[in-house]
């Protein structure tokens, strides 16, 4: 059966859990060959088996995208396995919260290394392949960058996370202007709070101090963002969903 993404190849970073895993499943269900990248290979292998059991095609690539050599190899391995690249979902990210004053500066380094540099390495290596794919019969290719509500609205206690996601937004729009004439769509998704493991990396004292803010908040599901990403990359080639803010219902966020 032919579905919207049959015959295309997608690479999802941060596919070992949360939004990335849900997105890999969703794109595979639409017929894409899916490359799954993250550091935890055991989780990627499980997801590959699940996709294959559902009749899909998937490949696990153990990668730390903060390492430029590994990020480049991830793209090359995908292209070697599937013959090209149509969709790059730059999803891998980390959120380490807390006031800037007295923050462990190593947390800032980690967020900049992954949320900014990792995304840039993956994008740079992928661009020639995406531009080539857009010259093919489908006449389009996609980069989908996962930002955050914090990439639209700076939030106290999230200064450097907000900085990284605002940077992703700026890069996304500038890159869109550069490549839209060659039919590569560059899109930004800004989720509000989603129930994933993202919050488990936050220092316990910071989580405790911010629990009231989240106490009654509705949380989105990873599948809600996967749906959004799948919608974006299955529009007709003439339609570019350049920016989407996805908020939960009944929530200040």
Which residues are known catalytic residues? 161
Contact between 56 and ligand NDP by CB under 6 A: the answer reads no
Let me know: does 16 contact 94? Beta carbons within 8 Å.
no
Q: Which stretch binds ligand NDP (CB under 6 A): 8-16, 78-86, 177-185, 202-210?
A: 8-16
| x/- letters, 149..168, toward ligand NDP (CB under 6 A) | --------------------
Rounded to a whole number of angstroms, the minimum distance from the CB of residue 127 to ligand NDP is 19
Nearest partner of 5 among 57, 52, 79, 73, judged by Cα? 57
Rounded to a whole number of angstroms, the minimum distance from the CB of residue 39 to ligand NDP is 3
Q: Which stretch binds ligand NDP (CB under 6 A): 124-132, 186-194, 206-214, 237-245?
A: 186-194
Paired residues of 59 in beta bridges? 35
Contact between 20 and ligand NDP by CB under 6 A: the answer reads yes
Alpha-carbon span 47 to 57, nearest angstrom: 11
Contact between 145 and ligand NDP by CB under 6 A: the answer reads no
Contact between 248 and ligand NDP by CB under 6 A: the answer reads no
Paired residues of 145 in beta bridges? 90, 188
| x/- letters, 85..124, toward ligand NDP (CB under 6 A) | ------xxxxx------------------x---x------
Give the contacts of 16 (CB within 8 A, at least 6 positions apart). 36, 38, 39, 40, 43, 44, 47
Q: Which is nearer to ligand NDP, 42 or 205 (CB)?
A: 42
Residues 59-78 that bind ligand NDP (CB under 6 A): 63-66
Let me know: does 233 contact 28? Beta carbons within 8 Å.
no
* Tokens 């997608």 -> residue: 10
Let me know: does 51 contact 25? Beta carbons within 8 Å.
yes
Taking CB under 6 A as the criterion, the residue among 9, 162, 196, 228 binding ligand NDP is 196
Q: Hey, what are 96's tokens?
A: 């380490």
Q: Which is nearer to ligand NDP, 110 or 138 (CB)?
A: 110
Contact between 148 and ligand NDP by CB under 6 A: the answer reads yes
Q: Which is nearer to ligand NDP, 9 or 13 (CB)?
A: 13
The 3-state DSSP class for residue 36 equals strand
* Tokens 């509000």 -> residue: 192
Taking CB under 6 A as the criterion, the residue among 17, 136, 167, 169 binding ligand NDP is 17
Q: Total number of residues binding ligand NDP (CB under 6 A)?
A: 30
Q: Which is nearer to ligand NDP, 44 or 133 (CB)?
A: 44
Alpha-carbon span 150 to 111, nearest angstrom: 13
Nearest partner of 27 among 39, 11, 40, 43, judged by Cα? 11
């Amino acid at each position: 059966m032919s579905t919207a993404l049959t015959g295309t190849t997608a690479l999802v970073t941060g596919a070992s859990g949360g939004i990335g895993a849900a997105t890999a499943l969703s794109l595979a269900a639409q017929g894409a060959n899916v490359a799954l990248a993250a550091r935890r290979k055991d989780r990627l292998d499980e997801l590959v088996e699940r996709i294959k059991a559902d009749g899909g095609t998937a490949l696990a690539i153990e990668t730390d995208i903060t390492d430029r050599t590994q990020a480049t190899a991830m793209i090359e391995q995908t292209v070697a396995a599937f013959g090209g690249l149509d969709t790059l979902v730059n999803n891998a990210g980390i959120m380490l919260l807390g006031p800037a004053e007295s923050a462990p500066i190593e947390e800032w380094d980690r967020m900049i290394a992954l949320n900014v540099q990792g995304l840039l390495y993956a994008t740079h290596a992928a661009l020639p392949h995406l531009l080539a794919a857009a010259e093919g019969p489908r006449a389009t290719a996609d980069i989908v960058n996962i930002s955050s509500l914090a990439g639209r609205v700076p939030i106290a206690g999230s200064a450097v996370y907000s900085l990284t996601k605002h940077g992703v937004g700026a890069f996304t729009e500038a890159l869109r202007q550069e490549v839209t004439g060659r039919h590569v769509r560059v899109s930004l998704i800004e989720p509000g709070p989603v129930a994933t493991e993202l919050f488990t990396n936050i220092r316990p004292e910071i989580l405790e101090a911010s629990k009231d803010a989240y106490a009654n908040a509705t949380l989105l599901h990873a599948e809600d963002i996967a749906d959004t990403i799948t919608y974006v990359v299955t529009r007709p080639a003439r339609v570019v969903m350049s920016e989407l803010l996805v908020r939960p219902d009944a929530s200040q966020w």
